[in-house]
Amino acid sequence: MIPTSRPTDPSAAAHERVYRTLRMQVMHGEIMPGASLTLRGIGKQFDVSMTPAREAVRRLVAEGALFLSSSGRVSTPELSNERIEELAALRAMLEPELASRALPRAHFALIERLETINQAVSQMVARHDAIGYIRMNLEFHRTLYLRAQAPAMLMMTETVWLQMGPTMRALYGRLNRKEPPPHHRLILSALKAGDEPGLRLAVRADVTQGLRLLRG
C-alpha cells in the first residue's frame, strides 16, 4: 500500500509565515525599539487567527527578537549599553571566524556577488534608506558566511542580528551617513588576496565600528 502524504496544517503554515515575516521585519529594523505589538494587531496584519500569531510571538520572544514583560506586554527590545556591548562582543567573536572558514571557498563568483551587493549598500546610503541599508549590509555578511558551511555558528550570528535590528534602525535613522561602510572594501581586498589575518581584522572592525555610536 502506497502511503499518502498528510495534508498541510493551515494553522502551522500560517504560523510559519507570520514568524518568518515578523522575524525579518525585526532584523531589518522595520520596527523601532520599544514598539508595542499585540496579538490582535499581528492577526489583523497577516489575516490570521490568534493561535498562529501567538505561536510566532512565542518563538520570537525565545530568540530575543521580542520582549515579553511581566504584565504581558510584547515589544521590540530596547537595548541597554551593557547589552549592546555583549552583542557586539559576540559579533566580534563569531563573524571573523565565519569569514575565516569561508575564505577557502571564496572563489571569483562569490567575490563578484559581494561586490554587487556592496554597490547596493552604497545605493541605500545615497537614498538615506535606513531599512534598505541594514537589509543589504546583512546580506553582504550572510552571503560570505554561508560559504563557511557552519550552520550552527551562522544561526547564532543571525540571532544576534535579530536582537540588534531595531536598535540599528534607530541609529542609522538619525545618522546622516554619506559613505558606505569602508571596511567592506577591506573585506573584499582580503578575500581577493587570500589574506586570512587581514580578513579577520577587517570583519572585526566592520562589525564593531558602530558600537560607540549605539551606546546612548
Domains in the chain: boundaries: 10-75, 81-214
pLDDT value of residue 84: 87
Instruction: State in words which class domain 81-214 has.
Output: mainly alpha
Specify the CATH number of the domain 10-75.
1.10.10.10
| CA distances in angstroms from 172 to 8, 47, 135, 145, 205, listed in the order given | 41, 31, 12, 23, 18
Residues 6 or more apart from 213 whose CB is under 8 A from it?
A: 171, 175
Give the 3-state secondary structure of residue 165: helix
Report DSSP state, residue 37: E
Residues 6 or more apart from 37 whose CB is under 8 A from it?
A: 31, 57, 66, 74, 75, 76
The model carries a pTM of 0.88
pLDDT tens digits, 28-67: 999 989 999 988 899 899 899 888 999 999 999 999 999 9
> Residues of the chain whose pLDDT is less than 50?
5-7
Give the 3-state secondary structure of residue 178: coil
pLDDT value of residue 10: 67
Cα(64)–Cα(41) distance, integer angstroms: 20
Instruction: Match 510584547 to its residue by C-alpha cell.
Output: 74
pLDDT value of residue 137: 93
pLDDT value of residue 7: 47
pLDDT value of residue 168: 85
